[in-house]
């Protein structure tokens, strides 16, 4: 069963993470951390006309956190906030409730299905989704610029 969890595709995604680093002026930034394993994912994103127009991330996570971050990075640019929120719900249902895997541009997430049987691995696998959703909320609320302006007032 552990071979299913760390299958060749998961390890391939984990070893090939794109969009590494940070954006100079993101619209939204967020960090998600798993207390259970210590994994951390920080994401920066820019929104243009309701779509993610740029994305960067720092990933300090186990192979599953790396794999899900890699899958996210491959397809997030061009995605809408609604699409990304729906993706988070779909992946959460897939892991926790036996739901169907995502389809369309994020269909690679199907390779995370074996994680379903390993509840202790759910948190690290979902980190990228949690960070993206929090960064979207900040971007939609005016991002770090709004936070700095309200702090200065």
Non-local CB neighbours of 99 within 8 Å, separated by 6+ positions: 90, 93
Q: Per-residue pLDDT tens for 67-77?
A: 999 999 999 99
Provide the percentage of residues in the chain whose pLDDT is more than 70: 91
**pLDDT value at 146 more than 60:** no
How far CA 133 is from CA of 2, 29, 42, 93, 151, in Å, comes to 29, 10, 11, 16, 23
Please give the Cα distance from 56 to 48 (Å, whole number). 15
Stretch 28-33: mean pLDDT: 96
Supply the DSSP string of 80-117, one letter for each residue. Answer: BHHHHHHHHHHHHHHHHH-PPPP-GGGGGGGGGGGGGG
**pLDDT value at 145 more than 60:** no
Stretch 39-44: mean pLDDT: 96
Q: What pTM did the predictor assign?
A: 0.88
Q: Per-residue pLDDT tens for 3-21?
A: 577 788 899 999 999 999 9
**pLDDT value at 91 more than 90:** yes
């Amino acid at each position: 069963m552990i071979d299913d969890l760390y299958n060749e595709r998961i390890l391939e995604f984990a070893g090939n993470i794109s969009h590494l680093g940070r954006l100079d002026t993101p619209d939204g930034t967020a960090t998600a951390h798993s207390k259970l394993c210590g994994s951390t994912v920080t994401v920066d994103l820019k929104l243009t006309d309701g779509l993610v127009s740029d994305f960067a991330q720092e990933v300090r996570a186990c192979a599953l956190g790396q794999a899900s971050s890699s899958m996210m990075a491959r397809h997030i640019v061009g995605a809408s906030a609604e699409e990304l929120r729906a993706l988070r719900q779909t992946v959460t249902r897939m892991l926790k409730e036996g739901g169907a895997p995502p389809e369309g541009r994020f269909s690679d997430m199907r390779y995370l299905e074996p994680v379903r049987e390993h509840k202790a691995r759910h948190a690290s696998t979902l980190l990228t989704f949690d960070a993206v959703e929090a960064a979207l909320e900040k971007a939609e609320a005016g991002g770090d610029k709004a936070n700095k302006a309200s702090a200065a007032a």
